[in-house]
Chains A and B, each alone.
Chain A
Amino acid sequence: MTNLRDNVGPFFGQYGGRFMPESLIAAIDELAAAYEETKTDPAFQAELAELHRSYTGRPSIITEVPRFAKHAGGARIILKREDLNHTGSHKINNVLGQALLTRKIGKTRVIAETGAGQHGVATATAAALFGMECTIFMGEVDTQRQALNVARMRLLGAEVVSVTTGSRTLKDAINEAYREWVTSVETTNYIFGTAAGPHPFPAMVRDFQKIIGEEARQQVLDLTGRLPDAVAACVGGGSNAIGIFHAFLDDPSVRLYGYEAAGDGIDTDRHAASIERGRPGILHGARSYLLQDDDGQTIESHSISAGLDYPGVGPEHAWLNDIGRATYLPATDTEAMEALRLLSRTEGIIPAIESAHALAGALKLGKELGPDSIILVNLSGRGDKDVATAGAWFDLFDEGARQE
């Protein structure tokens, strides 16, 4: 392969594939075929571009953050502001694409899994916009720590199903969404939220998210006259990371860093660092790095950030890791929360806890790369949903005034 950007799946090196129950193959094949058609369909591309412009608010801006960067060895730090998108994160980029695809294949109902609730909110939003029925599956643990997003989805007209099996987090929400999809596949499309799962999802979600990096690459060139030295993003399933990495894959001077949620630390048993501490296995339809025990049973992940609390990772990241094109490093709960507070206080931007993992990474990276370096960070989401978590973490609530 001449260009890393040209990989369209189903395999990324030894990773990816389509390991799925036969009952879902017809639907996945239908989706894959429809997606292939849209790639060369100018009407589809034009409609998506218009939604990006007049609904989401794209292109999202970049913001240089010098007061924050003082804490990063003086490196120049530039944020790609996906937090400013309608619905508050990068998730809407993918959802609008897949919602258009749902309409194209003639289905009238969408389902989705969600961790932090950002993908669920984006899917509920698109369903409202397109007049589709919508059911969101969310682990019970996540419905509690992201209660605001549950209310938001219901306000948008979606049904939210609290999943009480397994670890009651994102992986179990995906299991339950698959079970529902098998049952209702004739009328229902599954809008998968991250660049994982069976082919075509990893390639398709990446393609819908790569607009992040394509815009940012040009914006950084326009601002600084050159490419950044490094690009940083948080990695759960990995859709915001692959979205910003993709445009830079064939720029060898640009180093790519993915920050995995290290929870209490990657040498404890409470983290979500699939690439750093997992080994290859199959979960949710694809082969990739996976947190699993000796028997291949999935190990529950842990992170303060619901959106990164997933024991797997998208197959393209597994491949980029193995070929050395991207580097995956840990950021703990504490490091992420400190970075969240620092960005809030120095720049007046409250990031999502997910994105704060990338900020924590950038603080260290800047010290390594030095004051002349330029680091582009994907600020994948805003922190409004996380204020209750941050308030508890930093003890910001007045005595007796805590809202439940």
Chain B
Amino acid sequence: MTVRVDGASATIAARRDAGSGALVGYLPVGFPDLATSIDAAVALVENGVDILELGLPYSDPVMDGIVIQQATQTALAAGFRVRDVFSAVEGIRSRVDAPVLVMTYWNPVLQYGVDRFADDLRSAGGSGLITPDITPDSAADWIATSDRTGLDRVFLAAPSSTDARLADTVAASRGFVYAVSTMGITGTRQDVDAAARGLVGRLKAAGAENACVGIGISTADHVREVLEYADGAIVGTAIVKSLADGGVTALARFAAELSDGLH
């Protein structure tokens, strides 16, 4: 029970010290099936992704655009169970050394049991949770459990967040703060919203050690642009699309393209 699992902040610090920033890659567990999703996650790390964000498929993903919705619906239709996330984390961690965070809507964790979920995630070698549909003021149980287990807890910050809420979010987060680049849901976009730079600046002013930017980041140029001012760049939809369109081979090629020149 005392497996030492590093959080995301050590990896981010190392990347920052190296004069760059962290590349965070998102994939849903169980898409297109459990084994392939593990292979795909391993391929991301082998091709330059520093931190993995594993999405837990959920029936009502209100922050996700159509590409991720379709992938997670496919996983659910194929029989994904919440417990599969732990075997996925374990399988990935036995093959590559990168922090694995689970991105999950809150009800599946609540129904599994917050403490039990945290313990099983930690045993599997996971680093923590990213929770898109709860905020620190509605997360007392998760804050207590993550304090007990030492897991990272990544909350989201939005361009519309007030300064007071940003301060609360920074204080409550561990690992990094997920800076939502734009007022919108996951999906590829032409450009990264200028709001992202402003939000990262406000998070830093509020004392954030690490702020990673996500939503709409879909090209190597976007990654480089974001890493000029942020500690990490999170790519989701574009990675899922590469996997959906061309399998693990295409995904590996795309990840290499995203990380080209970062290391």
Contacts and interface: CB of A to CB of B under 8 A. Distances in A.
A295 B135 contact: no
A294 B80 CA distance: 12
Q: Chain B interface residue count: which class?
A: 35 or more
Contact of B107 (A22, A165, A182, A282): A282
Contacts of B135: 20-22, 25
Interface in A171-196: 171-172, 175, 178-179, 182-186
B110 interface: yes
Contact of B162 (A26, A284, A297): A26
For the residues of A in contact with B, the DSSP-based class is mixed
A166 interface: yes
Given A165-B73, A282-B110, A23 B183 contact: yes
B129 to A, nearest CB: 15
A297 to B, nearest CB: 4
B161 A292 contact: no
B73 A27 contact: no
A334 B109 CA distance: 37
Contact of B158 (A17, A26, A297): A26
B180 A297 contact: no
Interface stretch (B17-25, B56-64, B119-127, B238-246): B56-64
B107 A283 contact: yes
B160 interface: yes
A26 B111 contact: no
Given A17-B138, A183-B183, A185-B160, A298 B60 contact: yes
Given A166-B73, A183-B184, A21 B63 contact: yes
B155 interface: yes
A296 B82 contact: yes
Contacts of B162: 26
A281 B185 contact: no
Interface residues of A, number: 33
Contact of A26 (B59, B65, B69, B160): B160
B161 A178 contact: no
A18 interface: yes
Interface in B98-114: 106-112
B256 to A, nearest CB: 32
B132 A298 contact: no
A25 B76 CA distance: 29
B183 A281 contact: no
Contacts of B133: 19-21
A367 to B, nearest CB: 39
B59 A22 contact: no
B180 A292 contact: no
A281 B62 contact: no
A175 B160 contact: no
Nearest to A183: B184
Nearest to B136: A22
Contacts of B157: 22
A267 B245 CA distance: 42
A296 B110 contact: yes
Interface string B243-256: 00000000000000
Contacts of A21: 62-63, 132-133, 135, 156, 158
Interface string A190-226: 0000000000000000000000000000000000000
A166 B60 contact: yes
B110 A22 contact: no
A282 B142 CA distance: 14
Contacts of A175: 60-62
Given A22-B158, A23-B158, A295-B112, A282 B185 contact: no
B73 A185 contact: no
A315 to B, nearest CB: 14
B16 interface: no
A178 B62 CA distance: 6
Contacts of A179: 62-63, 65, 185
A282 B60 CA distance: 11
A60 to B, nearest CB: 35
B169 interface: yes
A165 B132 contact: no
A378 B162 CA distance: 43
Given A18-B138, A297-B108, A26 B184 contact: no
18 contacts: A19-B133, A19-B134, A21-B132, A22-B135, A22-B161, A27-B160, A183-B183, A185-B160, A282-B107, A290-B107, A292-B111, A295-B82, A295-B108, A295-B111, A296-B110, A296-B111, A296-B112, A297-B58
Interface of B: 58-63, 65-66, 69, 73, 76, 81-82, 106-112, 132-135, 137-138, 155-158, 160-162, 165, 169, 180, 183-185
